[in-house]
Structure 1
């Protein structure tokens, strides 16, 4: 909660520090002293639009600083930490506005965008003023107020609906995506199927393109290969029917060389080594001759084999042009295409399953929506009655509050069990509106338009008292008691005191009957040196507080009758 607010150079306030306590904090002061500047300063601290016209005359800037005591797990502390702020039990926020209109914000010792102040403010303070647009100016906030009041029954029904809503949204989204792409999916599947059938007909084998190319090359030059190998064989081992005058074979020449060396090797070891090499040459020549003979025998061409190889190469080449640079790439493409085709073929099954899921979830969502609407309608009746009772204690006894829960019927929506087709949303099918008839016989209208400034503040006070749950730690009311006096003013004070049992409350008031309930009483006092008027803030207690209440009651602070009345007022509101 707010522990301290410092305001400097704002309006008539030169430099003032408001030290706040738990419970009910009341701010009073003479007309023109600057009470409203307290609320204005707080508004700046919470991210409201800056106005250079608020900067005090002669000052360079207006500055508002706030010290907030906040638990480490509070949403405001968590958000501040995310923004890089320093938060250790307290969160320090500040906002400055220069006379030239430039605005700066700091959170936890770090420069921050003004928007961050507004985010934090949503978790920390609700400010209600006569000219305030408040949350109820936004229709969706009416539902939030009702749901907060509805407690666990509404929370349970809301969660059940939300879970079904999310599941149905996901199923419908995926179904719409798959259905929209149906034609493209069918075309793709047909294309993949045709390609896979083509590859299957050819049935290429890994590395086959290379082996076919090698075989075709060999078959094309078979005669030349056979002749060349035969000549080489003859040159090595000789011809079985030699022709007179033909060249001697290699083996014959090697044999002659060995004969020439054979009787001499014992005379020189070097020559013996050379003879061994000649012998090795003969062995190699003989082996090579045998291999050439085998090659010549194998080179015989099967009739029509070359045509078969060329036909096969043509079929494989057709696949290579379409699906890859090699048979291995074609086979890899085929595997991937088969997986994709299986996935596409299974999409129809997925569509059927999703459609079944949508058909199952839709009536369940409709039933959950109806249950949630019933919970809200029950809570709405109680909320209207409770707020009406509170308003009777706030000088609005003739006012009537209705909390209306309705559904918006559409042609294409969620069909409820009662046969109506209504618009659905993540929060349900309900539109909630808080209506107010401020006077007897008046037609109820939305609360933000039906109430005057003072009435709106009191309606908001009644709502806060009735719905208080501790979600927000601080509430601020500016002139909530406008147009109220006498016993009704005491009721306003009592209601503020009741709210202060749930949260910290700061009230700017001109009524002693309200101020008498304060746990901490702050007085805005002004000083005038004849040229410049300035204001400051001081906490009062004891005789000083009695004097302030006397002033508020009778216009003077030293009247014995007013002082006695003030003491009686304090006694009547004590405890």
Structure 2
């Protein structure tokens, strides 16, 4: 519920604090007193569009602060928490500030986008005004009313259908793209198959590029390699004279012999002698390997040419089909190409798979649509009966609301049927679509009857978590006994949730649990700028306000007696 609203420098309101409570609250006041600014301020808190022209003349900024107290685990609390908002004693504080050319929104102490206030506001408050009555004429609004009346389980089925419908549309688009891209797909398949033929002809291996590069280096430098090996062999072994005094192996053997005679007398020399033995063995093995390497090192121009040709072929193929232009990228391309070719040519793949998927999701869509239709049929009967009862109480005895479900030629985003509300305003009258045949007063009463019936339905099928209802002159075009019954129905709705009503009818205001009056003060003390204040009226003050609404004269004895009679009338069911 809304606990409090504070308004500063908005329109004719310089400063006002509105305390709200559960039940039915009415807001009244003379024309031009500022009732509209109260709803404008609430609209700003609910994410409405900001208008710098609403700032009070002479002020630089305007602000509206609201305190909302949702029940525990309400969806609005989750949205606020995701935005980083902090609660104040389990309440959400919302602030909207207007300045020339811009506005700012804060939620729980955090700056947030205006759109987030709209999301949270939609969960917390439902506003009905003249525009809402106009929307009731639209088929979309009528369908939404029926779906809301059908309850949460129907809502789950509708969400399931919406998802299935979107999946079916996606599957149909995929199939359409497949059929329209036949030439491009054939060209892709031909290109991939050609690439794989060239790849398979070369049969490249992972790491082959490094091997070929090393072999090319070796074959291209045979003489340099042979000279280096021969010189190393000479330095180690002395060439044809292995005992040459300057040969490394001969010097190691000499050192080993020098130590051998004294090794028995010192462990250190013995250890060195052993290490020299190892070095001698290793040098001997290395000499043998160098000799073998030199013997096998031969120039092979033909093989070198083959290596260069192979490397060039791999490079050309890689640059043709990959951005990197190297062997690893070519191997990866070939792997993906084979997978794509398989997907394009395998039995049961390609178009067959798309058709199978479309059939599957279409079946799911049809099943979900049937469930939605069943829910609407049930809800249509129940809603018509419930609204008829409310219309009878709203001075429309014998009026009948019927709900037409018209089957569509194809499934739409909302299901298999269009919804149309028809009204027979009195016995014997033919039912006519609300969009064409209902007057403003009849629309007001139908809308109120729908809201009361829906509140009762939701209160019985859910945990009672209903939004706050705000009505802006919902009684327009209504008078006499019908106005009394409108007030009674608003009071009935307020048994289930908080209701706030802006009204000009005393018959409606008399049913309020709390009566607030917007009053203008003299402009002479405000520099010529009119100011309005909001205060709660009780007892004689409330009778005077009702008398003013009845006759225009708050002191009229006749109007005061009538006001007292209105306040004494009991509220049925309360």
Q: TM-score, normalised by structure 1?
A: 0.72
- Indicate the SS of the match to 1:573: coil
In structure 2, C-alpha distance between the alignment counterparts of 1:523 and 1:292, rounded to whole Å: 111
2:491 is equivalent to residue 504 of structure 1: no
Q: Describe the shift of the 1:215–1:523 C-alpha distance in structure 2 as closer, same or farther (beyond 3 A).
A: closer
- Which sits farther off after the overlay, 206-215 or 181-190? 206-215
1:457-512 per-residue CA deviation (whole Å, 9 max, x = no partner) reads 33322221122235652111122223333332221112111211222111122333
Q: TM-score, normalised by structure 2?
A: 0.72
In structure 1, C-alpha distance between the alignment counterparts of 2:339 and 2:82, rounded to whole Å: 43
Q: Which has the larger radius of gyration?
A: 1
Taking the TM superposition and a 5 Å limit, the aligned residue runs for 1:300-379 are 306=300, 309-310=303-304, 312-313=306-307, 315-323=309-317, 332-333=328-329, 335-348=331-344, 349=346, 350-351=349-350, 352-379=352-379
2:453 is equivalent to residue 466 of structure 1: yes
Taking the TM superposition and a 5 Å limit, the aligned residue runs for 1:12-411 are 12-51=12-51, 54-56=54-56, 59=59, 61-71=61-71, 73-88=73-88, 89-97=90-98, 103-131=103-131, 136=136, 140-152=140-152, 154-165=154-165, 167-169=167-169, 171-172=171-172, 180=181, 182-200=185-203, 208-210=211-213, 212-213=215-216, 216=219, 237=240, 298=295, 306=300, 309-310=303-304, 312-313=306-307, 315-323=309-317, 332-333=328-329, 335-348=331-344, 349=346, 350-351=349-350, 352-396=352-396, 401-409=401-409
Q: Describe the shift of the 1:507–1:152 C-alpha distance in structure 2 as closer, same or farther (beyond 3 A).
A: closer
- Indicate the SS of the match to 1:432: strand
5+ unaligned residues in a row in structure 2: which ranges? Answer: 248-257, 259-276, 320-324, 459-463
5+ unaligned residues in a row in structure 1: which ranges? Answer: 239-248, 255-264, 266-279, 410-421
**Aligned residues of 2:487 and 2:508 also touching (Cα < 8 A):** yes
In structure 2, C-alpha distance between the alignment counterparts of 1:314 and 1:58, rounded to whole Å: 88
In structure 2, C-alpha distance between the alignment counterparts of 1:78 and 1:287, rounded to whole Å: 82
Query: How far has the Cα of 1:21 moved from its partner?
Result: 0.9
Q: Describe the shift of the 1:347–1:321 C-alpha distance in structure 2 as closer, same or farther (beyond 3 A).
A: same
1:457 corresponds to: 444
Q: Describe the shift of the 1:510–1:432 C-alpha distance in structure 2 as closer, same or farther (beyond 3 A).
A: same
In structure 2, C-alpha distance between the alignment counterparts of 1:72 and 1:306, rounded to whole Å: 87
- Indicate the SS of the match to 1:490: helix
Query: How far has the Cα of 1:108 moved from its partner?
Result: 3.2
Pick from 523, 541, 545: which aligns with 1:544? 541
1:155-212 per-residue CA deviation (whole Å, 9 max, x = no partner) reads 3532443454455456556666677463354134303421331123999967652565
Query: How far has the Cα of 1:529 moved from its partner?
Result: 7.0
Root-mean-square deviation (CA, aligned residues, Å) is 4.9
Query: How far has the Cα of 1:73 moved from its partner?
Result: 3.8
In structure 1, C-alpha distance between the alignment counterparts of 2:338 and 2:40, rounded to whole Å: 67
In structure 2, C-alpha distance between the alignment counterparts of 1:341 and 1:380, rounded to whole Å: 57
Query: How far has the Cα of 1:353 moved from its partner?
Result: 3.4
Pick from 415, 419, 423: which aligns with 1:428? 415
1:114-138 per-residue CA deviation (whole Å, 9 max, x = no partner) reads 4444333222222222355776476
Query: How far has the Cα of 1:27 moved from its partner?
Result: 1.7
Query: How far has the Cα of 1:401 moved from its partner?
Result: 3.9
**Aligned residues of 2:45 and 2:96 also touching (Cα < 8 A):** yes
Count of equivalent residues = 518
